[in-house]
Amino acid sequence: MDKLRKIFSLDSLIVPLVAILLGLLVGAVVMLLGGYNPLVAYSALIQRVVGNPYDFGETIRQITPLIFTGLAVAFAFRSGMFNIGADGQVLIGMTTATSVSLLMTGVSSNIVVPLAVIAGGIAGGLWAAIAGYLKAKRGINEVITTIMLNWTALYLSNYVIRHFFLMKGQNRSEDIGASAAMTFLGGIFNNARVHWGTVIALLAAVFFYVYLWKTKQGYEMRAVGFNANAADYAGMNVGRNVVKAMFISGVFAGLAGTFEVLGVFHYQSVFAASPGYGFDGIAVALLGMNHPFGVVLAGSLYGVLTYGSAGMSFAAGVPPELIKIIIGSIIFFIAAQGIVRFVLKPFYLKRKKEKVL
């Protein structure tokens, strides 16, 4: 319980909260400059998200991959690495899940889905582990390799879909029969595309926490992340930890892609450009202070803002791109914590004075 309190201690929570408020404020100013009414816009945004069960379910769908990729980036970061390649790992996970499902067409969903999920996760993990291996063995910076692997993944995925699973006359794969949708919730959410991925994402966050802070492997990984020299001195195998951390990070990302096909689309497009899940993940990890529970909250915020932005444009005429400004500002304020603390300074002083009195 003590630990929990520490995580949610005032300081680590108050900075992101104030950053969010400042971000919304910046958004409001921009809207005012553009001649829109921010109050109408923001209420439309919220209305859109919680207004009806269908949209609420769809918001959850929007949030799920963000949590996965956020966890992926945060996990690598905790182990001292910057995984820019979550995007490619998402694609590899997606393609693997699609391939497994389509190869097993006709087999019961209860068998196909678990297999596809496992395969998709592992494939994403292995893809990321390539970058880990190159870093461990050859000392190549993972930022470079993961970015390169993003492109490789994009073209590899498109090649696989085009050559093996293309639906005639379409720029996408054939339909996948198996589904990870939570059909029993269909009634409640008015057929919104809610799926098991959300549950797995939350479990992944718990796994992240327990693994990193409670197990001996996690202890090792954090030691390597903070100070690889000291880890080396203490007899830890730094290289193996680097590969392992990238693998786990990649599994998270791979699962994001897996559930996008199994739970949401039930086919895979040939992508003209990178779908961007991984880059959103970087923002989510940053917003969530690289803590798994922070990532869940940040992913939710990001998802709500993204999904709600459509309502904003519909009801208040505000272009949905504006939400990017808000998200950008929030991240800016989180990164530039000095500004937040500066804004907070008068409040702190006031509190101190009250204590003296």
Partner 1 sequence: MSTAATVVELKQITKSFPGVVANDSISLTLRKGEIHALLGENGAGKSTLMNILFGLYQPDHGTIEINGKQVTIDNPNKAIKLGIGMVHQHFKLVQPFTVTENIILGMEPKKGLNIDYKSASAQVAKLSEQYGLQVDPNAKIQDISVGMQQRVEIMKTLFRGADILIFDEPTAVLTPQEIVELMAIMKRLVEEGKSIILITHKLKEIMEISDRVTIIRRGKVIDTVDTNNTNPNELAAKMVGRDVTFQIDKQEPAAGEPVLQLNEVKMQNKDGIPVLNGLNLQVRAGEIVGIAGVDGNGQTELIEAITGLRKINSGSIKLSGKEIANLPVRKIIESGLSHIPEDRHKHGLVLDFSISENMVLETYYKHPYSKSGFIDQKTVDRHAEELVEQFDVRTPSIYTKARSLSGGNQQKAIIAREIDKNPDLLIAAQPTRGLDVGAIEFVHRQLIEQRDKGKAVLLISFELDEIMNVSDRIAVIYEGRIVGEVRPQDTNDQELGLMMAGFMEQGGQSHG
Binding residues for partner 1, rule: CB under 8 A, are 214-220, 222-223, 226-227, 229-237
CB of 82 to partner 1, least distance (A): 17
- Nearer Cβ to partner 1, position 106 or 139? 139
CA distance 198 to 256: 10
- Nearer Cβ to partner 1, position 242 or 253? 242
Three-state SS for 269? strand
CA distance 170 to 155: 17
CB of 345 to partner 1, least distance (A): 12
- Extract the tokens encoding 137: 């063995």
CB of 221 to partner 1, least distance (A): 12
CB of 185 to partner 1, least distance (A): 34
For residue 258, how many C-alpha atoms fall within 13 Å in the half-sphere facing its CB? 32
- Nearer Cβ to partner 1, position 82 or 211? 211
* DSSP state string for 132-201: HHHHHHH---HHHHHHHHHHHHHHHHHHHHHHHSBPTTSSBBPPP----B-GGGTTTTTT---BTHHHHH
- Nearer Cβ to partner 1, position 70 or 225? 225
Encoded amino acid at 17, one letter: L
CA distance 208 to 185: 27
- Nearer Cβ to partner 1, position 46 or 230? 230
- Nearer Cβ to partner 1, position 29 or 234? 234
CB of 236 to partner 1, least distance (A): 8
Encoded amino acid at 251, one letter: V
The residues near 343 (Cβ < 8 Å, ≥ 6 apart) are 18, 22
- Extract the tokens encoding 276: 């961007």
CA dihedral sign of residues 204, 205, 211, 212 = positive
- Nearer Cβ to partner 1, position 219 or 347? 219
CB of 190 to partner 1, least distance (A): 43
CB of 225 to partner 1, least distance (A): 9
Instruction: Judge whether 70 and 298 are in contact, CB under 8 Å.
Output: yes
